[in-house]
A and B are shown apart, each in its own frame.
Chain A
Amino acid sequence: MDPQRKRKIRLVVALSVAVLLAVALVYTSFSAATAAKEPSQLLGAAPGTSYDLTGKVVKGSIRKGDEEMRFRVADRDGGGEGIPVTYSGTVPDPFRGGREIVLTGEVQNGVFIGEPDTLVTKCPSKFTTSNDS
């Protein structure tokens, strides 16, 4: 085979692999992603659909039970009364009232049931200009 042709074949192969990867990326990411919602957006949420709940833990709402933990999460800007949440599993160190969290789970009868070990609490950061405490 002459080298010109060989190179062309290689290029076509490389490009098709790249295109394949790109298509796979796009396709799987849209199907695998969970939508992030704030409590106020979860009011009409369909039961059985998984969401990422994002918002602020309402101060003083945390109740630790034997097996699970209950607390309320309100919108990040503090609006609304928030949604009650139950969660079992590990609680990250920075978790406490007033912190922003992300939790995967679904809504059942107006209560957000968090999946175990999906609770993410934002680090009180380094780069915030205002202190929330």
Chain B
Amino acid sequence: MTASLGSAALALAFATMLFAVGTALVGRNGDERWVLASRRAVYAACALLTLCVALIEIAFASDDFSLNIVQQHSSIETPNFYKLAAMWSSQEGSLLLWAWVLSIASSLALYSTRNKLRELVPYATAVMAGVASFFTGLMLFAGGVNPFAALDPVPADGIGLNPLLQHPSMMIHPPMLYSGYVAFTIPFAFAIGALITRRIDASWIRATRRFALIAWALLGFGLLLGARWSYTELGWGGYWAWDPVENAALMPWLIGTAFLHSIMVQEKRGMLKVWNACLIVATFSLALLGTFLVRSGVLQSIHAFGDSTVGPYILGLIAVVLIGSTALIVSRLDDLRSQKRIDSLASREAVFLVNNLLLVALCVTIFWGTFFPLISELFTGTKSSLAAPWFDRYTTPLAILLVLFTGIGPLLAWRRVSWATAKRVFFVPSLVAAVVGFGLALFTDALHKPWAFALFVFASFALVGLGQEFWRGAAARRSLAGGSMAAALVGVVSRNRRRYGGYVVHAGIAVLLIGIAASSSFQTNRDIKLRPGESAEIDGRTVTYLRPTVAVDKDKFSFGAVMAVREGGGESTILHPSRRFYRPTGVSGGEISDFFDGEATSEVGLEAGLANDFWMSEGPDVSAVQRRVRAADAGFRACVRGAPGTPPQCRAVSNLMRAAASNPSLQPAALRTIENLQTATAERIAKSYLRDDAAATFRVIVNPLVTWMWIGGLIALAGTLIAIWPPRRSRRVPVANTELEALKEAKYREIRDAELDHAAGKLSDEDFALLDAELRKEAVEILDSANGANGNGVATNGAQGRGAEKRPAEPV
């Protein structure tokens, strides 16, 4: 029932998306009815895909094992929370998630542009619906990946979800990454539309900027969650391994970062059009590449990849995207040429260009390293891989330069900055950075790690510079509106969300990089072997193994340790590292030793702190337990056989088994009895571990400032939210109904920006006067063309123009 309904909905969604592509293309020359039809088709397909997702989720929640996907990835025992999230741990479920999220994003994008960009929306619709139909089509036709594949006969229980994946952040992490990948489709689609129609001004950027930001934030947050999971769940104590899958998600994020910066240059100055088009094509292709990598098996990774059927198709799509977009960009080069040049190297756009180049260099390096096994196979015949040190060697200096520019960019105004002004705005941050540098050199051993030292100095420069920006902005606001400094700060931020949201993101990234630099350079890493009662000294702390612990339940053994960690003369902190041994999923009625054949996971003992994390994992010595388990299993086998000399307490079991063999109706009861006996035995044997006095190995890591990473990530996320939050005005009345109005609004915003820069001391009086005059002239030009377009008489032109000149800007 679910299977047929779902398959029908999926097929219908596919057909509807194709219909949307067709109608959008028919209506490309402005036939409103066709365009409307295509838009509604996208909405309809979104509804259908929502139905598909709902059906799958209901099947998971109600243990409907007639669906293959449910049987493979869930079981009756699986906790409810993980049942709902199990969908995307499967190949077919993740494809459905892709298509569904894309249909939602496309619908939102089309809804928000329903009255705008009439020329390019049909093409954008065709691209978005085309990509969506590709993914729905994959599920239907690629074979083996239809989420509604049914099982007959219906199994009684499912295999269950891998225990390693049963971690809260593991459940949010994949949809975050996917949504990030997917949301980059929207700016890509509009860019293609803009290129085809030769409408290459900033209007497509304005229409999709929010989507790009959301995509960027989701991707970044997904990466952070993955790092967090690796740190707390995988038992090796690291958060990043330069693994191909990690790199695959990092690369589009880096290029996306470059894109978000350089589109501002296009918006404000009409420059870098080719560059922006290339960046969004690269971002989208890299997102597809990430989707492809986890499904292809071409690279060695910690994440095992299945050689699945969909890999070649996705590769085909990437090829089409790359070839098509390149041809399109080349054919539009004449339209893309910008009229203006960068006025001065001391300007925000110049810094943005440098940051773009750094980000692209970073991405190229990572790309080369990630795909090096394929490259080396091509040239030398053997697959050789590059390890973390190689990546670190290049990414570290690039990241350090980036953090410097994270600080410099916000301090500079657009177009040009005079030397005197630059000296004024750079003075305090440079001074503080110098003081921090001296302090670190004198009081810590930071100088031993020059890269980390440089990063600390640059990051403090960036943080102080950003703080100064907030301070000067708030001061300017207060001198205008009065009130307290705090109120002025809130006022200036809420009036300039994009700007200050961006600054908050910068601060978050600086904090995050400090965390990475400190934790990777100054980590203490020790493996110690302790018996219960013994202690060891690590990095000024006394670590005592107080006593072992054991817990047994139906599906796992858990051997743990109670550890006391004392620093100096202070109080001890108690940590509980443990190791869990799971019975293989989907096996029932086996032997007790099965527990040691399944997954094993580490539960880390972690004392997190702002200064450092004390992290420990345990490797218990369970060899004695395993020996006893094997003996017990042998005993059970003898019991069941009822061999001569069977002890009396065994006889009941063997009699029961014999009866069950002849009478199948007794079998479930017999199996239950055996299982209960096994569980009781397992528990008894496991408890014996407590008396073994066995030594356990502990990996102990003292990780400085690692918490700063998570905090920095959250700060950056908060900043993104500030930047995408719609301004209050436009929530009440949709101001920018037409493109010209949007253009006008953008120009007014630029004027206000310049005034804020002036008030905050970033622009000298002469520079500001020059810039303001330029901007106002441009605004008048826009108004003139607006009036021309509206067919208004020349007479009103002058009046409107003067209005613009006089328009009371409210910058701060």
Contacts and interface: CB of A to CB of B under 8 A. Distances in A.
Interface in B682-720: 699
Given A25-B394, A131-B159, A92 B235 contact: yes
Given A100-B304, A125-B304, A128-B304, A90 B236 contact: yes
A36 B302 contact: no
Contacts of A86: none
Interface in A3-47: 3, 7, 14, 18, 21-22, 24-26, 28-30, 32-37
A97 B597 CA distance: 8
Interface in B363-407: 364-365, 368-369, 372-373, 375-376, 380, 382-387, 389-390, 393-394
A129 B602 CA distance: 26
A93 B390 contact: no
A89 B619 CA distance: 11
Contacts of A102: 300, 385
A26 B233 CA distance: 35
Contact of A122 (B91, B302, B365, B384): B302
B142 to A, nearest CB: 11
A109 interface: no
Contacts of B375: 29
Nearest to A25: B368
Contact of B390 (A29, A89, A95): A29
Interface in A116-133: 120-131, 133
A36 B385 contact: yes
Contact of A32 (B386, B527, B584, B597): B386
B306 A93 contact: no
B667 interface: no
B144 interface: yes
Contacts of B376: 29-30, 33, 35
B387 A93 contact: no
Contacts of A28: 390, 393
B342 to A, nearest CB: 9
A106 interface: no
B600 A127 contact: no
Interface in A47-64: 52, 54, 64
A120 B384 contact: no
A129 B301 CA distance: 17
A79 B294 CA distance: 26
Contacts of A89: 527
B584 to A, nearest CB: 5
A22 B394 CA distance: 11
Given A34-B385, A92-B234, A127 B599 contact: no
B600 A93 contact: yes
Contact of B357 (A14, A52, A100, A123): A14
Contact of A125 (B306, B389, B394): B306
B524 to A, nearest CB: 15
Nearest to A63: B623
B113 interface: no
B382 A37 contact: yes
A123 B304 contact: yes
Nearest to B617: A90
Interface range on chain B (Cβ under 8 Å from partner) = 35 or more
B291 to A, nearest CB: 11
A26 B379 CA distance: 12
Interface in B572-604: 584, 586, 597, 599-602
B134 interface: no
Given A29-B386, A128-B306, A36 B300 contact: yes
A64 B380 CA distance: 37
B234 A33 contact: no
Given A34-B387, A92-B234, A126 B300 contact: no
B757 to A, nearest CB: 24
A21 B361 contact: yes
A35 B308 CA distance: 26
Contact of A36 (B162, B233, B364, B373): B373
Contacts of A34: 384-385, 387
A91 B619 contact: yes
B389 A32 contact: yes
B295 interface: yes
Contacts of B304: 100, 122-125, 128
Give the interface centre of A34, A94, A126 by most chain B CB atoms within 10 Å: A126
A133 B583 CA distance: 12
Nearest to A118: B387
Interface of A: 3, 7, 14, 18, 21-22, 24-26, 28-30, 32-37, 52, 54, 64, 89-97, 100, 102, 104, 120-131, 133
Per CB-CB distance, the 3 closest pairs between chain A and chain B, nearest first, are A128-B306, A33-B384, A122-B304
29 contacts: A14-B357, A24-B394, A25-B368, A29-B386, A30-B376, A34-B387, A35-B376, A35-B384, A36-B383, A36-B385, A52-B385, A90-B235, A91-B619, A92-B236, A93-B233, A93-B235, A93-B600, A94-B164, A95-B600, A104-B387, A122-B302, A122-B303, A122-B304, A123-B164, A125-B303, A126-B89, A126-B91, A128-B308, A129-B144
Interface of B: 72, 89-91, 94, 144, 159, 162, 164-165, 233-236, 294-295, 300-309, 341, 357, 361, 364-365, 368-369, 372-373, 375-376, 380, 382-387, 389-390, 393-394, 527, 584, 586, 597, 599-602, 619, 623, 699
Given A21-B364, A21-B394, 11 more contacts: A18-B361, A29-B390, A35-B376, A35-B384, A36-B373, A93-B601, A93-B602, A97-B597, A123-B302, A127-B91, A127-B306
